[in-house]
Amino acid sequence: MHIPDGYLSPATCAACYAGMTPAWMVAGRKVKRVVKSRYVPLLAMGAAYSFLVMMFNIPVPDGTTAHAVGAVLIAVLLGPWAAVIAVSVALLIQALLFGDGGVLAYGANALNMALVMPFVGYGAYKLTAGRCPLTACRRAVAAGVGGYAGLIAAALFAAVEFGIQPDLFHSANGTPLYAPFHLTQTIPAMLSAHMLVAGVVESALTYGVVAYLQRANVPILRINHDNVPDAAAVGPMRKELRWSWAIVGLGTMVTLAPLGLVAGGVAFGEDAPEDLDLHKYGLAVVPRGLAHYSRAWTHTIFGNYGFASGDHAGIGYVVSAIVGVIVIVVAVAVVVVLALLVRRMRTQRSLL
């Protein structure tokens, strides 16, 4: 679902950045609940989880791949505005360090996966859960439903962004300048991959984590559910926050990261220009704009999550996972510190 540079026009990229800018600003203000010192590690772990889960590519029957995102799980635990920040940080690190998703297209990827997905998914979760107790089975099922709905919504947005390009941006003879896929191609391709495969995985992961926390660490769930009753608890209730489950989980994901290499091919719409099947889309050459902007960012450290030489792919994938987690944790800490500094400056100004 990561849109590379060149597939969207500069105008589309600018519009997505314009749409995300106020969302990032609001998220910085709304998330102050969870930037209290005791919750910062959870926000960082949420961003790291999103980064890692996106490294696990899942094979799709048509020969492409898809992946989960983790945005709705973060929204359930910390609220959708926290998910905006966590997933945005993960996407930014992916684009800058690993070339996964474009830098020009970062606004579009953030719009789809860091804004649309957590809010649609969280809305579906709230609607399905209703006022049921925090530890009720229905609430875990609702989280799974939210994960599925959020991912499908994000995929639909990406499909529309791809599909409008040939109609809006083309040469005088009608040749597409950027993505050559029309809506009749993008919507079925994106929705089938995510409705049948990635959405099911996203749902299962979201359900599984929430169901586990209901039994092992209810205080984590309580962070974003102040007014939800604890009745119908399954097992003893703990009062303290416990982080070991998250650390062990992230460590396991890092260790298993090479499994993301098992799926052959790439996701729909993520081909490099030289790999694009021109005949399939009725083209004689790579679209001019796609060829021009596809190299907008060439400063990745571990391109495609591996070493520059291409050797030892499994080791390179694990190293990329470790580096990504470390950088994301630091980046989240920086974002939190900046948010607190801005809030303090505003407070001081109001007192003058």
Whether the per-residue pLDDT at 348 is higher than 50: the answer is yes
197-216 per-position pLDDT tens digit: 999 999 999 999 999 999 98
Share of the chain above pLDDT 70, in %: 94
Tell me, yes or no, whether 4 lies in a domain.
no
- Residues 339-350 have a mean pLDDT of 75
SS3 59: strand
Q: What is the mean pLDDT of the chain?
A: 91
Q: How many domains does the chain fold into?
A: 1
CATH label of the domain that carries residue 159: 1.10.1760.20
pLDDT of residue 14: 98
Tell me, yes or no, whether 300 lies in a domain.
yes
DSSP 3: P
- Residues 132-161 have a mean pLDDT of 97
Tell me, yes or no, whether 261 lies in a domain.
yes
Tell me, yes or no, whether 43 lies in a domain.
yes
pLDDT of residue 341: 78
pLDDT of residue 34: 62
Q: Cα–Cα distance between 212 and 139 in angstroms, integer?
A: 12
Tell me, yes or no, whether 223 lies in a domain.
yes
Tell me, yes or no, whether 1 lies in a domain.
no
pTM of the entire predicted model: 0.93
261-281 per-position pLDDT tens digit: 998 789 999 999 999 989 988
> How many CB atoms neighbour CB 350 within 10 A?
7
pLDDT of residue 36: 60
59-75 per-position pLDDT tens digit: 998 889 999 999 999 99
What confidence tier does 35 reach under pLDDT thresholds 50, 70, 90?
low
Cα of 255 vs its chain's centroid, Å: 20
DSSP 3-state helix, strand, coil percentages of the chain (rounded to 5)? Answer: 65, 0, 35
CA dihedral 40, 255, 87, 192 (to 10 degrees): -150
SS3 66: strand
Whether the per-residue pLDDT at 237 is higher than 60: the answer is no
pLDDT of residue 233: 46
Domain span including residue 40: 10-351
Tell me, yes or no, whether 324 lies in a domain.
yes
pLDDT higher for 72 or 243? 72
Q: Cα–Cα distance between 176 and 182 in angstroms, integer?
A: 10
How is residue 7 written in tokens? 């597939």
Tell me, yes or no, whether 181 lies in a domain.
yes
Judged by average pLDDT, the poorest of 40-49, 106-115, 176-185 is: 40-49
pLDDT of residue 180: 96
Q: Cα–Cα distance between 3 and 167 in angstroms, integer?
A: 18
Share of the chain above pLDDT 90, in %: 75
pLDDT of residue 100: 96
